[in-house]
């Protein structure tokens, strides 16, 4: 697990989203949106901390609130400059609301973009169907990807791999390389049971994907190390309702419904600083095990085993191999 990471605040700008991804475990009834005051408060508290800092606009689909993201990003940039802070800002998006014009605006603001795209049309439409049904907006997604790549924004494509899509990963990477993508991140679906065979198949698929990226001159963010096991990441989350929490729960909310309450740290409006203390993997493991039922422990153990395995994979084989 990497220790030199920036201190990040993950802001759930909105829980609303036009997609209904197979791996999505976010509870989205009512699909709330964060208030401008709570989002600014989060940015303000982050910018009182020292060292490298990162504000992540997350969702749902945060760019459904494009104006709020753009305005907050500009405001946070000015505040960071005034306080002499090193701030990175990033937005994670499905690409659907990210028109080429918006991509250029975000590039001008210095926002980094993490685009969620799982491969070619076959995998993407199976894993990320539209919530509303209807014709799949594949041509729109590709046009927006092209616009993003041309915008000058620092952008990464994140591919989420499920047990049933591991064998298609190489095809997806080849397709995205052919579109001009030069920075990748590979995520595995939390909340899915991988088992030993699934983990081995994933490792084989990642090894092939990593080779393809290397020969295509593409960067793989996983090689820089990351918070594995992700399940023990002490990430600081600001929910759309203004509640702060520490821990990995947003992608597991419906799969492990006790997590959010177990990780809660109170409303941002009452916070004097971000909950930066007590976020290490040991503390997170204790909170995690206290929050899950005996029936849920098999899933937790499976996802922890996979995370440890991939920590070794990216930390040793890929990075130094
Ligand atoms: S995983 Fe992200 S893009 Fe997919 S439905 Fe959930 S919030 Fe939307």
Averaged pLDDT, 245-256 = 91
With a cut of 60, say whether residue 304 has pLDDT above it: yes
Q: Which domains does the chain have, with CATH numbers?
A: 7-320 (3.20.20.70)
CA dihedral sign, ordered 148, 217, 110, 118: positive
Cβ 131 under 6 angstroms from ligand 1: no
Cβ 26 under 6 angstroms from ligand 1: yes
Cβ 247 under 6 angstroms from ligand 1: no
pLDDT at 259: 92
How far is 183 from 202, CA to CA, in rounded Å? 20
Q: Do 91 and 106 meet the contact criterion of CB atoms below 8 Å apart?
A: yes
Rounded (5°) CA angle 252-254-256: 60
Between 33 and 319, residue with greater pLDDT: 33
With a cut of 80, say whether residue 1 has pLDDT above it: no
Ligand 1 atom having least distance to the Cα of 251: 1
Q: Which residue, among 241, 240, 300, 291, has the nearest Cα to 263 in the 3D structure?
A: 291
Write down how long the chain is: 321
pLDDT at 4: 65
> Which residues, at least 6 apart from 4, have a Cβ–Cβ distance to it below 8 Å?
none
Most informative mutation of 17, 58, 131 for ligand 1 (most atoms within 8 A of CB): 17
pTM listed for this prediction:
0.95
Q: How confident is the model at residue 225 (pLDDT cuts 50, 70, 90)?
A: confident
User: What tens digit of pLDDT does each residue of 76-121 get?
Assistant: 999 999 999 999 999 999 999 999 999 999 999 999 999 999 999 9
Q: How confident is the model at residue 318 (pLDDT cuts 50, 70, 90)?
A: low
User: What tens digit of pLDDT does each residue of 257-291 get?
Assistant: 889 999 999 999 999 999 999 999 999 999 999 99
Ligand 1 atom having least distance to the Cα of 116: 3
pLDDT at 92: 98
- Where do the DSSP E strands lie in 18-61? 52-59
Kindly state the percentage of the chain with pLDDT values over 90: 89
Cβ 20 under 6 angstroms from ligand 1: yes
User: What tens digit of pLDDT does each residue of 183-213 get?
Assistant: 999 999 999 999 999 999 999 999 999 999 9
CA atoms within 13 A on the CB side of 215: 9
Averaged pLDDT, 47-61 = 97
Averaged pLDDT, 56-70 = 97
Cβ 59 under 6 angstroms from ligand 1: yes
pLDDT at 321: 43
How far is 29 from 15, CA to CA, in rounded Å? 9
How far away, in angstroms, is 321 Cα from ligand 1 center? Answer: 34
pLDDT at 227: 84
Averaged pLDDT, 223-229 = 87
Query: In the numeric block, which tokens belong to residue 180?
Result: 């001009």
User: What tens digit of pLDDT does each residue of 156-188 get?
Assistant: 999 999 999 999 999 999 999 999 999 999 999
How far away, in angstroms, is 22 Cα from ligand 1 center? Answer: 9
């Amino acid at each position: 697990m990497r220790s030199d990471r920036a201190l990040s605040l993950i802001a759930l700008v909105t829980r609303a989203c036009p997609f209904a991804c197979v791996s999505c475990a976010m509870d989205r009834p009512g699909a709330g949106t964060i208030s401008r005051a709570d989002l600014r408060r989060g940015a303000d508290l982050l910018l009182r901390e020292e060292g490298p800092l990162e504000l992540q606009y997350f969702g749902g689909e945060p760019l459904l609130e494009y104006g709020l993201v753009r305005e907050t990003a500009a405001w946070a940039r000015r505040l960071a400059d005034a306080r002499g802070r090193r701030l990175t800002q990033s937005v994670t998006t499905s690409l659907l609301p990210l028109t080429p014009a918006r991509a250029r605006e975000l590039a001008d603001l210095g926002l980094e973009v993490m685009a969620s795209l799982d491969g070619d049309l076959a995998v993407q439409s199976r894993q990320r169907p539209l919530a509303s049904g209807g014709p799949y907006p594949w041509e729109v997604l590709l046009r927006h990807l092209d616009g993003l790549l041309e915008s000058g924004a620092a952008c990464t494509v994140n591919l989420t791999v499920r047990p049933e899509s591991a064998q298609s990963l190489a095809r997806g990477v080849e397709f995205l390389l052919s579109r001009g993508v030069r920075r990748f991140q590979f995520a595995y679906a939390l909340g899915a049971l991988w088992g030993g065979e699934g983990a081995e198949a994933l490792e084989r698929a990642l090894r092939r994907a990593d080779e393809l990226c290397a020969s295509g001159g593409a960067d793989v963010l996983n090689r820089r190390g990351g918070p594995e096991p992700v399940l023990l990441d002490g990430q600081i989350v600001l929910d759309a309702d203004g509640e702060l929490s520490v821990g990995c729960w947003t992608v597991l909310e419906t799969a492990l419904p006790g997590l959010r309450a177990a990780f809660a740290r109170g409303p941002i409006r009452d916070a004097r600083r971000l909950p930066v203390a007590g976020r290490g993997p040991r503390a997170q493991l204790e909170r995690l095990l206290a929050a899950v039922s005996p029936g849920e422990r098999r899933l937790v153990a499976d996802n922890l085993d996979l995370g440890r395995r991939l920590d070794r994979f990216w930390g040793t084989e890929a990075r130094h191999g």
